[in-house]
Amino acid sequence: MSANYLSALLFLPVTGAIIIVLVPRLSARLTRYIAAVFTLVPLVIAVCLFAAFDRSASMAGAVQFEQSFAWIPAINANYHVGVDGLSLPLVLLTSLLGFLVVLISWKVEQKVRQYFFWLLLLETSILGVFCSLDLLLFYVFWEIEVIPMFFLISTWGSGRKEYSSIKYVLYTLFGSAFMLAGILSLYFATGSLNIIEISQGGLAMLQSVMPAAPIFFLLLVGFAVKLPVFPLHTWLPDAHTDAPTAASVMLAGALIKMGGYGMIRVCVSIFPQVAQDYAPLMLTLATIGIVYGAAVTLRQTDLKRLIAYSSISHMGYVLLGIFALGELSLTGAGMQMFSHGLVTGLLFAITGVVIHNTGERDIGKLGGLAQQIPAIAVIFTIGGVAAMGVPSTCGFIAEFSVFLGAFSSTAADGVRIFTAISLTGIILAAGYILWLLQRVFFSPALEKFNAVHDADRLEKAYCAVFIVLIFFIGVYPTILTDVFKLGIEPIAAFFGG
């Protein structure tokens, strides 16, 4: 009956959301506690599933905790969920962030019930994307996510929030429109919506002559918008910058990972040959993303926007790892997704505290905060160091695996050149992080910030969770790589590595 645990994990947050909306005259305080409970329990389940996951080599590529029953028989669609080595860590990450964002949002005072309703609905939809093994179900969860994010940004955001939220929606829908066409063609070509079945059956399942490359690209556009891949990235800085802190954490931490996950799960594993043929193109885009993203980050003057742009660069590593098509590089891509979720989650969370406490987000007007708010400065510095990929943090392991894996990969042409160029991203990252830390925290103290409060106990607590995990995974990465490997092996086997 273990399968039901996964479904429980999936639907607990939305159950909480429905309770919050339906119970009349719920106080703000009680709403927060309900939200906390309905995200903590899924987190506990996720940890248990992670512990119970069978890591033996014979389970490579196998789906565990599976559950399946007919949903719409007329089109052969099933409610089919399960996790393998690729999705399980992302499920864990999402449920972790899902709980932490409730704590991060503890101080939200405006329309509290609506706020937590959307936040919990968002968590279920992201979890659903990672758990679904049926293309229609996958797409349903993929699309549901748009509405909560629209409301979160447009109602509780700041700055040009209405512009950013509608831009986010239109970009996402634009991408998923192509994805829908891709899913339909795939369905028409194979007669199945089962992701595992299609990727194992491969081209043998094609019942009709339909060129694979167009389907591959239709699907890829949807994922590329989400990851985001240059040149489809322009929604990201706006959305991240104007979103409320918790939504930024969810967006950067879990949501954009849907893009990378989808690329591996759907594009690469169903169309390995096409992926190999077009790898140089994708590697070019990855390299541009890494270098361009990092270079633009250097020029940012808004604290949140700076971290948003750094995400573009970091997601470039994911794309590089995926389309280098080696086992190590794909594992590295998975690690980078997990690590970026923690690191950027921490950075957005602490940035939210800085902006909230100082009332200032312009880097030029901030300065010398290390003296006034030492705890925040320490937390921010640790986050920054992890984002730079300093050894002993998870960022290091992730980037190292991506680069080593990409450099040694034999599957894609010219991958070494792309890797070499991408390495400059690391130098640029060190540049923008250190420069940021120096300008905001380690310059001479400014008098106007003398009265600024440091992080309170709750803020220190959730930041501590992030920090512990960042170092734990940095020191003991095997706990994740073992799991990722099981999911990656069958995919990498096609490319002989």
Partner 1 sequence: MNLELLLPEMIIAGTAVLVILLDLFGGRRAVTIASLAGLAAAFGVTISMWGGDQQFIFNGLFALDGYALFFKLLFITIAALVILASVDYSSRFKSSAGEYHALLLIATLGMVLMAAAADLIAVFISLELVAISCYILAGFLKDRKSTEASLKFVLLGGIASAVLVYGMALVFGFTGETRLAEISAAVQGLSAASIVGSPGLLMGMVLMAAGFGFKIAAVPFQMWAPDVYEGAPTPVTLFLSVGSKAAGFAVLLRVFFSAFSLPQALSSDWGTIFAVLSAAGMLLGNILAIQQGNIKRMLAYSSIAHSGYILVGLAAVGMSASASAPGQSNLLFYVAAFTLADLAVFTAVIIISSKLNSDLIEDYAGVGRRSPLLASALTLALVSLIGLPPTAGFIAKFYIFTAAARNSLLWLIILAVIASVISAFYYLRVVKVMWLNQPAGDERITASPAPGLALAIACAGILLLGVAPALLMKLVEAASILGS
Q: Does 177 bind partner 1 (CB under 8 A)?
A: yes
d(CA 315, CA 182): 23
Binding window for partner 1 (CB under 8 A); candidates: 174-182, 251-259, 303-311, 450-458: 174-182
Give the nearest distance from C-beta 185 to partner 1 in angstroms. 6
Total Cβ atoms within 10 A of residue 170: 12
CB 312 within 8 A of CB 287: no
Give the distance, in angstroms, between the CA of residue 166 and the centroid of all CA atoms in the same chain. Answer: 21
435 binds partner 1 (CB under 8 A): no
174 sits near partner 1 (criterion: CB under 8 A): yes
Is residue 81 helix, strand or coil? strand
Q: Please list, in sequence order, all residues whose beta carbon lies within 8 angstroms of the beta carbon of residue 391, skipping any fewer than 6 positions away.
A: 474
Strand-pairing partners, residue 64, are 83
Strand partners, 70: 78
* 70 vs 281, beta carbon nearer partner 1: 70
* Look-up of token digits 């390995």: 272
Between vectors from CA 421 to CA 415 and to CA 424, what angle results, nearest 5°?
140
Return the residue of 78, 95, 154, 422 that touches partner 1, per CB under 8 A.
Answer: 154
Piece in contact with partner 1 (CB under 8 A), picked from 180-188, 239-247, 292-300, 406-414: 180-188
Spatial distance between the Cα atoms of 134 and 455, rounded to a whole number of angstroms: 44
Q: Which is nearer to partner 1, 93 or 169 (CB)?
A: 169
Task: Say whether residue 170 binds partner 1 (CB under 8 A).
Answer: yes
Closer residue to partner 1 (CB): 174 or 494:
174
What residues numbered 121-150 form the site for partner 1, per CB under 8 A? Answer: 136, 139-141, 143-144, 146-147, 150
155 binds partner 1 (CB under 8 A): yes
Rounded to a whole number of angstroms, the minimum distance from the CB of residue 174 to partner 1 is 5
DSSP 212-232: HHHHHHHHHHHHHHHTTPTTS
Token pair in block for residue 242: 């104007």
Note whether 178 binds partner 1 by CB under 8 A. Answer: yes
Binding mask 201-230 for partner 1 (x = CB under 8 A): -----------------x------------
Which residues inside 342-381 make contact with partner 1, applying CB under 8 A? none
Smallest distance from partner 1 to CB 14, Å: 10
- d(CA 38, CA 179) in angstroms, rounded, equals 31
Task: Tell me: does residue 151 bind partner 1 (CB under 8 A).
Answer: yes
With CB under 8 A as the contact rule, the residue among 18, 68, 107, 162 that binds partner 1 is 162
Evaluate whether 61 touches 490 at the Cβ level (below 8 Å): yes
Is 74 a residue that touches partner 1 (CB under 8 A)? yes
- Which two tokens mark 54? 């069978």
Please say whether the beta carbons of 491 and 330 come within 8 A: yes
The residues that touch partner 1, with contacts defined as CB under 8 A, are: 70-75, 136, 139-141, 143-144, 146-147, 150-151, 154-155, 162, 166, 169-170, 173-174, 177-178, 180-181, 184-185, 187-188, 218
